[in-house]
Amino acid sequence: MFLIQLRMINLIKRWFIPLKYGVDEAGSDGITVIWIHGANQSGLSFQYLRSLTRFKNELVVEYDTSHKFKDNLEMLSNEIHKVRGPYFMIGHSLGGLYALHLTKHVDVAGAVSISTPFAGSWTADWARFFVPTYQLFRDVGRRSIPIKESQNIKLTVDWIQIVSTKGNVPYHGGQNDGVCTIKSMKSRKDMELIEVPHTHFEVMCSDLVVEIILDRYQKVVRSKKTGNAIQKPI
């Protein structure tokens, strides 16, 4: 019901208020939008979502998956500090995990993570037996340092986790979106969880995801202006 209402509201806004989320307004509210891509991808993976959200103040940051997580985290923090905060983070998959860690380093006002396995990857655990030096598997295993440290991060900002539920394949440790298990994506209890019927990569070309991002961004902006915090999950 929530998704149906959200879609209807945003369709009405697009019909009658075409500049509401246009280039001239979106992202001009003193908040910079930060886009963080997933593993072995690039900022180009956000091309569709960015073409429809059209934020004015935004930064697409990139990292090399072959580098250690902590080194990438430091680099991302330095890059983000070059633009004005506070920041609204949007991270896909591993990018969502970086966004969570970045709450300890930069001024995050809110965030939307997309298909992020916050409890780690069962596949990475067994794959390490065959490729023990592959950095990505070392970073996203269920007992990896980045995953364990992230579980100790207490969120104080509004956060939506989009859970992609389509594309189940065998030998992935449970129901999954073709890459990450739904259980891992739903592991954080301090985030608002919204399920979407897409695979891990289809989600990056979803109008529904665009609507969720825009809706939450506007709520964060209003909250910042009024000083009233958005109610978080208990």
Domain ranges within the chain, ordered by starting residue: 21-86, 108-208
Q: Taking CA 8 as the corner, what is the angle to CA 57 and CA 59, rounded to the nearest 5 degrees?
A: 15
Q: Which percentage of the chain shows pLDDT scores above 90? A: 79
Strands 192-196 and 32-36: unpaired
Q: Which percentage of the chain shows pLDDT scores above 70? A: 85
Tokens linked to 98: 């970086």
Give the per-residue pLDDT at 173: 84
The model's pLDDT over 7-34, given as tens digits with 9 standing for 90+, comes to 554 444 444 433 333 333 444 578 999 9
Sign of CA dihedral 188, 194, 195, 199: negative
The answer to pTM > 0.75 is yes
Give the per-residue pLDDT at 7: 53
- Whether residue 37 has pLDDT greater than 50: yes
The model's pLDDT over 138-179, given as tens digits with 9 standing for 90+, comes to 999 999 999 999 999 999 999 999 999 999 999 888 999 999
User: What confidence category does residue 230 fall into, taking pLDDT thresholds of 50, 70 and 90?
Assistant: low
- Whether residue 226 has pLDDT greater than 80: no
- Whether residue 89 has pLDDT greater than 70: yes
Give the per-residue pLDDT at 122: 92
- Whether residue 70 has pLDDT greater than 90: yes
Give the per-residue pLDDT at 1: 53
The model's pLDDT over 183-211, given as tens digits with 9 standing for 90+, comes to 999 999 999 999 999 999 999 999 999 99
Calculate the alpha carbon distances from 133 to 126, 136, 139 in Å: 13, 9, 11
